[in-house]
Amino acid sequence: MLALRAILFYLGLSIATILVVGLSPLAFPFAQRLRSKYISLWAHAVMWWLKVTCNLTIKVEGREHIPADSNGIILAKHQSAWETIAMQTIFPPQTWVLKRSLLLIPVFGWGLALTRPIAIDRTAGKKALKQVIDQGIARLQQGLWVVIFPEGTRTSPGEQRRYAIGGAMLAEKSGYPVVPVCHNAGEFWSKQAFTKKQGEITLVIGAPFSPAGMSAGEINERVEQWIESTYQRITTL
């Protein structure tokens, strides 16, 4: 039954993605914020279809922590493909720091390109870090949120990777507020399994904080401690 549910979900996901990408040329003439809203319609549809087919829902804690009058930098836990979809339904128009290779994925990558992501080559070292900072500041000044996964890649539940400094450095250099985000999506939609466990994913939005007077290292440490302690509270394992 779980396999059948997953097949139905991916069938609907594929159809929705093809439709959105097929109509995407109509969105290119518009401002980036409008393009992001267009992509968020796809995300809302996918989240609804996930609930219908896999009985997988979401509980959000801390919506009141999303600033109403400013944008900022989201530093989030990364366990699944789920959060890349779900956060588009929760936060205002946003863009992402991601691996450049993702843009090469047929159809899906083309849709990603609509959000004007900060697509980096992780092997580029300081050059990639400078790209995150320069392009990140530009996106923030355009009014977009910038989403960064400090762990760099998806981690299995209970696994913890070193938090990379790029997002914290962007916060230090830009002065924009930081909003930490934690969730337990990997316990329901893992990075390896085809099937999805039914249940309720918890996503927690932390209180935003100003990076003023903080070093990148201090910002990173504060985010890591909050995310990992929050995960210990919400994990179902």
> pLDDT per residue over 152-201, tens digit each?
889 999 888 999 999 999 999 999 999 999 999 999 999 888 999 999 99
Per-residue pLDDT at 1: 85
Domain of 212, CATH number, reads 3.40.1130
Per-residue pLDDT at 98: 80
Residue 62 has pLDDT above 60, yes or no: yes
Task: Please give the model's pTM, rounded to 2 decimal places.
Answer: 0.90
Other CB atoms closer than 10 Å to residue 74's CB: what's the count? 24
Give backbone dihedrals phi and psi of 181, rounded to 5 degrees, phi first. Answer: -135, 135
Domain count for the chain = 1
pLDDT tens digit sequence for 79-105: 999 998 999 999 998 988 887 777 667
Residue with the bigger pLDDT between 34 and 55: it is: 55
The DSSP-derived string for 1-35 is -HHHHHHHHHHHHHHHHHHHHHHGGGTTTS-HHHH
Across the beta sheet with 56-61, the strand order is: 56-61, 199-205, 178-183, 73-76, 145-148, 94-99, 118-120
Q: Which of 1-15, 39-53, 80-94, 103-117 has the lowest mean pLDDT?
A: 103-117
Q: Which of 33-42, 126-135, 161-170 has the lowest mean pLDDT?
A: 33-42
Per-residue pLDDT at 134: 93
Using DSSP, state whether 202 is helix, strand or coil: strand
Per-residue pLDDT at 25: 57
Query: Rounded mean pLDDT of 192-211?
Result: 95
Residue 213 has pLDDT above 70, yes or no: yes
Mean of the per-residue pLDDT values of the chain: 89
Residue 144 has pLDDT above 60, yes or no: yes
Type and span of the H or E element at 119: strand 118-120
Helices of type H across 74-200? 82-86, 108-113, 126-141, 166-174
Residue 22 has pLDDT above 80, yes or no: no
Domain with 150, as residue range(s), is 2-234
Residue 28 has pLDDT above 70, yes or no: no
Other CB atoms closer than 10 Å to residue 31's CB: what's the count? 12
Cα of 88 vs its chain's centroid, Å: 7
Per-residue pLDDT at 231: 97
